[in-house]
Amino acid sequence: MNVPQVIEIKKIIEETPTIKTFIFDWTMVGENIPYPGQFIMVWNFNDEKPMSISYIDVAKGELGITVKKVGKFSENLHSLKEGEKLGLRGPYGNGFDTDLRDIRVLAIGGGVGMAPIAFFTEEALKNKAQVDVVCAAQTKSELLFDKRLEARGANVYTCTDDGSCGFKGFATHRVLELIEHKEYDWAVVCGPEVMMRPLYGSLETHMIDGEYSMERYMKCAIGVCGHCCVDNTGWRICAEGPVFSSDQISEIVEFGKYHRTASGLREYF
């Protein structure tokens, strides 16, 4: 659906001091049913941004997005109340593979990157995968969805930069410890690219294939405008991505190095 639906905010959940989840009623029919790793475009009647889908309940007809307050657009969303409205269109993009029966999966999320990881984990668990989750944040109060996923049956390993909860250090270090002592068949990763790039190297060294969710500046979300193209491949994050396999990631030279601003200038991580 390429025209925004104007929908009331049904519920707002304060997840952390800087992160909120917004729940909407959503028609769960055919291609309108989201799957993990996809995104929707959110319009606040002034600007429009892509947001990962963090939650769906097909039976209740509910969809959730999880938003970290980092700039003017997200600050505006955080100021809204239940009953106010936003424009939503989508879902868009290619998502994670969740058909992973009896597969040992390592799911890794950094900060608000846990949003699609949480959605993925719940679907993978329904499909009988065995899922370990590395949930990373700067500090304990910013950990996202760790309790939610423990309640669903995932093994959750928290890590914080300051050591206030779980492992003290970065997700890259926590993952290295896990893969030295446990065996995994597959990995899914979402977070800052400065986190994902060394994780990709570590997982490749241990011959663990997987999928990685990338983020770029988007405008149309349907593969027309070209703003979210990655340089050497011509792949569009909105259409060929945002989720890419390990083999595809190996071909993207800008992965973990730079992205482009709204004006097209390179901005290095």
User: Is 190 labelled as part of a ligand binding site?
Assistant: no
Strand duo 186-190 + 167-168: pairing: unpaired
Q: Is 228 annotated as a binding residue?
A: yes
Q: Is 220 annotated as a binding residue?
A: yes
Full set of structural domains in the chain with CATH? 5-92 (2.40.30.10), 104-268 (3.40.50.80)
pTM: 0.96
CA distances from 156 to 1, 11, 87, 103, 208 (A): 35, 26, 34, 17, 19
Mean pLDDT of the region 179-190: 96
Average pLDDT taken over every residue of the chain: 96
pLDDT over 90, % of the chain: 93
Q: Stretch 251-258: mean pLDDT, rounded? A: 95
pLDDT digits (tens, 9 = 90+) for 224-252: 999 999 988 999 999 999 999 999 999 99
- The answer on whether 159 is annotated among ligand-binding residues is no
Task: Tell me how far apart the alpha carbons of residues 36 and 211 are, in angstroms, rounded to a whole number.
Answer: 12
Q: Report the pLDDT averaged over residues 112-136.
A: 97
Amino acid 1: pLDDT: 63
CA distance 19 to 111: 9
